[in-house]
Amino acid sequence: MKKIAIVSAKRTPIGKINGQLSSLNSVDLGVIAAKSTMNSINLDPKLVDQVIFGNVIQAGGGQNIARQIELKSGIPDTSTACTINQVCGSGMKAIRLGQQAILTNDADIVLVGGTESMSNAPYLNSKVRQGRKFGAFTMEDSIEKDGLNDFRTNAPMGITAENVAEKFNITRAAQDQFALSSHQKAAKAIKNNYFATEMTPITIHGKKTATVISTDETVRPDTTIEQLAKLRTSFKENGTVTAGNAASLNDGASALIMMTEDRAKELNLKPLAIIDNYAEAGCNPDIMGYAPRYAVEKLLKKEQKNISDYDLFELNEAFASQSLAVVNGLHIPMEKLNITGGAVALGHPLGDSGARILITLINNLKRTNQKSGIATLCIGGGMGMAMSIHIN
């Protein structure tokens, strides 16, 4: 089988909702990531055959945002594009689809990634078209409707995190300690410039001045365990999940360029990483955050390997409770997990995160001179996804 290489991988900084990146929509962010990814290896945009991008909150974004990103990035209109929505797994699914397109000879070079601007998510009213005889119209938040609420019960994902905490005996204290560690690791990474190789700075032009943004906005270097312990629970009275031990609402984008290892050699490009394997699995939506365990176990079975065979793991920290449950279930050593912090600190732009964690995994493996790793994340609706890579 052909070996599929990632030859370039860049991401934007992650902004908080209505924060430093709020003037940029999902297409804008995707274009910045896409252009940076091509420019960093001097790739001629004419060589890109397909663009596949993950995006979750799509209402009002215009036709096929992947196509918008493609054309605005200078890729010719003879290429094609597809937008994929598998909720939080969208960015990783885009990578998988790109891999499959190359393996089946549907494409030679593919640009993949994920993007989300939760700041620009619209409010919705599905009743206006039919009209209303009496009473006020009410609006729905597309962040909740299309991203964060269970489609069966309308319960927020935070309730599923509470379910996981209860089922697997994850205490509030353990969640807060996990969150503190995430912020501490992320703050250290920023201080030591660990994200520099994966990050593309963004210049925001104001009326009089321009601001260059080159760090993730939600990392709190001064967070303490005492501060976290004082926070009220967000989803359930006498619960354990708070704004401090859960990922926030965010904006960001990531992009990667994929081709066969042989094609990379022809273009004199050195692969950053080789994709080894992939798996996804489903579970009861009420404990959706636990699904990465099943996806990783499925991946390990396909590869006939054990957790100990991998050097690093990137687990998207949607919530500290589900992260701890997955880590405990798989027996992942904490020293191998999210070594530059995770989504509790860095943020979780829904359609972006699956691609972002793989980029961070590549960067961390290369920086620490290690070889192999797994990126994995939970997905609303009761699914998990995992991808393994190695560095040559």
Contact between residue 224 and residue 218 where contact means Cβ atoms under 8 Å apart? no
In a domain, 20, yes or no: no
Active-site residue, 205 included? no
The one catalytic residue in 82, 205, 283, 378 is: 378
Question: Could you give the angle at which helices 320-330 and 172-191 cross, rounded to 10 degrees?
Answer: 90
pLDDT number for residue 130: 85
pLDDT number for residue 338: 99
Cα three-residue angle 81-86-91, rounded to 5 degrees: 60
Closest CA to 65 of 2, 147, 135, 120: 120
Q: Pull the structure tokens for residue 102.
A: 């190359």
Contact between residue 320 and residue 245 where contact means Cβ atoms under 8 Å apart? yes
Active-site residue, 82 included? no
pLDDT number for residue 206: 85
Integer Cα distance of 49 and 274 in angstroms:
20
pLDDT number for residue 145: 96
Domain count, the chain: 1
Contact between residue 355 and residue 197 where contact means Cβ atoms under 8 Å apart? no
pLDDT number for residue 133: 81
In a domain, 355, yes or no: yes
Three-state SS at 81: strand
Q: How many residues does the chain have?
A: 392
pLDDT digit string, tens, across residues 107-163: 999 999 999 999 999 999 988 888 888 888 889 999 999 999 999 999 999 999 999
Q: Any idea of the CA torsion for 101, 105, 111, 117, to the nearest 10 degrees?
A: -20
Q: pTM for the complete prediction?
A: 0.97
Contact between residue 205 and residue 196 where contact means Cβ atoms under 8 Å apart? no
User: Largest alpha-carbon pair distance within the chain?
Assistant: 67
In a domain, 14, yes or no: no
Contact between residue 303 and residue 290 where contact means Cβ atoms under 8 Å apart? no
Mean residue pLDDT of the chain comes to: 98
At 356, which amino acid appears?
R
Three-state SS at 143: helix
pLDDT number for residue 135: 84
Active-site residue, 88 included? yes
Domain housing 362: 276-387
Q: For residue 296, give the CATH number of its domain.
A: 3.40.47.10
The one catalytic residue in 82, 205, 331, 348 is: 348
Q: Pull the structure tokens for residue 100.
A: 């499959």
Neighbours of 205 (CB within 10 A): 9
Backbone φ and ψ of 191, nearest 5°:
-60, -40
pLDDT digit string, tens, across residues 190-243: 999 999 999 999 999 988 899 999 999 999 999 999 999 999 999 999 999 999
Closest CA to 5 of 44, 39, 41, 34: 41
The one catalytic residue in 88, 183, 205, 390 is: 88
Closest CA to 378 of 329, 334, 331: 329
Contact between residue 254 and residue 69 where contact means Cβ atoms under 8 Å apart? no
In a domain, 242, yes or no: no
Question: What residue ranges of the chain have pLDDT lower than 50?
Answer: none
Integer Cα distance of 293 and 331 in angstroms:
10
Integer Cα distance of 73 and 16 in angstroms:
25
Alpha-helical runs (H) found in the chain:
26-39, 65-72, 90-103, 142-143, 157-167, 172-191, 225-230, 261-266, 291-303, 320-330, 343-346, 353-367
| DSSP state, residue 109 | S
